[in-house]
Amino acid sequence: MNNVYTYSRFIAWVKVILPLAALALLSTLFLFSRGSGTGGAIPFSEREIEERAQTPRVTRPNFTGVTGNGTALSVQAETATPDPEDAGRLAAEGLQASIDTPGGTRFEIVSDSGQMNNADQMFSLSGDVRIESSEGMQMSTSEIETALDGSILTAPGAVSVTGRFGSFDADSMLLELAEPDSNTYVLVFKGGVKLVYTPVN
């Protein structure tokens, strides 16, 4: 009889103690979650917040266009800031662009910065501009300009090119249609072109 009474008392205490222990554990978890971690903190300093409030900017903007002959242009940027004096002009940083021609050639472009002018539908990329084609050419220059419809690409300054054939330098470069109504594009290098030919073994 004593054993039955003791077991009943034990069960009664367990029914009280276990829920209390569970509550204690839960409260401890909440205390630790509040006391550590920065999940609720804003990841900007007060100065950065003030600058963002004074200078509106767009994060990860994307511009795309397709020409009548099927050439596609895509431009992405880390950030873009509107010109306070010209709403149709944007200054961008961390640019990546691609041009896909109907003939299957693709140009991948990266640059430090650039500008978009909505009035004349032109996009300029500047800084350390690097271009890589699907044909195996790598080009570097300080500035390129391209239409937002992907119809033309121009490097008005010096260009350095490397490829399977070797390397060469030119005063400027132009990607243009071989003929006005064709779908074929050609790269034209102008000025003092200096070629270093590397024979393919």
User: Residue 142 pLDDT > 90, yes or no?
Assistant: yes
- Distances in Å between the Cα of 152 and the Cα atoms of 4, 58, 144, 146, 172 are 94, 26, 10, 5, 14
* Strongest mean pLDDT among 6-15, 48-57, 103-112, 192-201: 103-112
User: Residue 173 pLDDT > 80, yes or no?
Assistant: yes
Tokens of 88: 């149709």
Q: How far apart are CA 178 and CA 74, in angstroms?
A: 22
The domain spans of the chain are 1-34, 57-197
DSSP 8-state secondary structure symbol assigned to residue 81: E
* Closest by Cα among 192, 191, 189 to 161: 189
User: Residue 43 pLDDT > 80, yes or no?
Assistant: no
Local confidence band at 33 (pLDDT 50, 70, 90 cut-offs): very low
**Architecture of the domain whose range is 57-197:** Sandwich (2.60)
Return the higher-pLDDT residue of 24 and 32: 24
Q: What are phi and psi of 54, to 5 degrees?
A: -80, -30
Q: What are phi and psi of 3, to 5 degrees?
A: -65, -40
Q: What is the pLDDT of residue 201?
A: 58
Tokens of 171: 């005063």
* 89-108 tens-digit pLDDT: 888 999 999 989 888 889 99
Q: How far apart are CA 39 and CA 7, in angstroms?
A: 48
